[in-house]
Amino acid sequence: MDHPVSTDDLSVVLGSSTILRGIDMTVTDGETVALLGANGSGKSTLVKALVGVVPITRGRARLYGRDVTTESRQVAWGRVGYVPQRVTAGGGVPATALEVVTSGLLDGRRVRPGAAGRRRALEALDQVGLADRARDSVQVFSGGQQQRVLIARALVRDPDLLVLDEPLAGIDRDSKEQLAGTLATLHEDGRTILVVLHELGELGPLVERCVVLRHGRVVHDGAPPRPAPGHDDPEHEHVHAHGGDQVPDHHVPDLNVEL
Ligand SMILES: Nc1ncnc2c1ncn2[C@@H]1O[C@H](COP(=O)(O)OP(=O)(O)OP(=O)(O)O)[C@@H](O)[C@H]1O
């Protein structure tokens, strides 16, 4: 079975630093997996290595069974949508939201995506709630709106595997909920989603498995950390009896895995 993502003893050294150490990770068809970990634990480097942006020093990474280093030309890149961590969608080049999203369809062979492609790009913009801004320059967009344009750019290929690096960072609450809804629909459709997150947040209900990195190693791979019973109840006051005294309990209850 060729899984959407599999890594085998993957290590990445950048400069003189070992960033990832012996990562074994598999994402199976239709799964939604969150990649969690503290700042600098290597989450972005791992997804960059998976999509061939960062060179792999040892071990291997495969997408749909093809080695991203040695079989790069055979990898089904058309099945993969990648949303990098918060970069500007404009890149200094004046372009409308529609142009940026349409460029996600270009694969080096087709010079112009044509009317069908533009229709598809409009649908993708609609999925992120920006259809009405299609013809505006992304340079005037807010950071969160630019992020949504980049997500639309990945969605326009109708990918089977979506790899997103902190897609909700810097996005307002309504847009987060909208994007969570879009990802939920893709998940129900059977797509595979690997998403780098700081906290489960709005995507919590969607995530089936968490891989937690610390100092470039996997320290947890399994069920999402769940709040202790009752702690996710908004009415819960986090006050427990300790030897007869009521002592306020200020620990953060929603992530039991130490990051
Ligand atoms: N090109 C590079 N050269 C050297 N070190 C790098 C390079 N890119 C990243 N690093 C280092 O690798 C480590 C992991 O970075 P990475 O961006 O993967 O972490 P992260 O878990 O995604 O963090 P964050 O949550 O802050 O985005 C960091 O210490 C970073 O400084």
Average of per-residue pLDDT across 112-129: 85
Question: Hey, what amino acid is at 135?
Answer: R
Q: How confident is the model at residue 256 (pLDDT cuts 50, 70, 90)?
A: very low
Ligand 1 contact, 40 CB (< 6 A): yes
Q: Hey, whose CA ends up nearest to atom 25 of ligand 1?
A: 39
16 C-beta closer than 6 A to ligand 1: no
Dist. CA 89 → ligand 1 center (Å) = 21
Of 157, 6, 1, 20, the residue nearest 68 (C-alpha): 6
Question: Helix 114-127 to helix 143-155 angle, to the nearest 10 degrees?
Answer: 130
14 CA distance to ligand 1 centroid (A)?
9
Least Cα distance to 85 among 139, 160, 143 occurs for: 143
pLDDT tens by residue, 78-106:
899 888 886 665 565 567 888 888 777 76
Q: What is the pLDDT of residues 55-80, one digit of tens each?
A: 999 999 999 999 999 998 899 888 99
- Largest alpha-carbon pair distance within the chain? 74
Q: Is the pLDDT of residue 170 over 50?
A: yes
Pairwise CA distance, residues 157 & 166, whole Å: 20
More confident residue, 119 or 252: 119
Is residue 39 lining ligand 1, measured as CB closer than 6 Å?
Answer: yes
Quick check: ipTM above 0.90? yes
Ligand 1, residue 166: give the atom nearest the CA.
Answer: 27
Q: What is the chain's mean pLDDT, rounded?
A: 82
pLDDT given for residue 253 in this prediction: 34
Q: Would the pLDDT of 111 be above 80?
A: no
**Better-scored residue on pLDDT, 216 or 246:** 216
pLDDT given at position 6: 97
CA-nearest residue, atom 13 of ligand 1:
40
Q: Is the pTM of this model over 0.80?
A: yes
Give the residue among 46, 45, 136, 61 at the shortest CA–CA distance from 99. 136
Instruction: State in Å: Cα 176 to ligand 1 middle.
Output: 25
Superfamily of domain 5-224 in CATH is: P-loop containing nucleotide triphosphate hydrolases (3.40.50.300)
User: Tell me: the pLDDT tens digits for 124-157?
Assistant: 999 888 999 999 998 888 877 888 888 899 898 8
Q: Stretch 104-112: mean pLDDT, rounded?
A: 59
Which residues lie closer than 8 Å to 226 by C-beta, 6 or more apart?
232, 256
| Domain spans, the chain | 5-224, 229-259
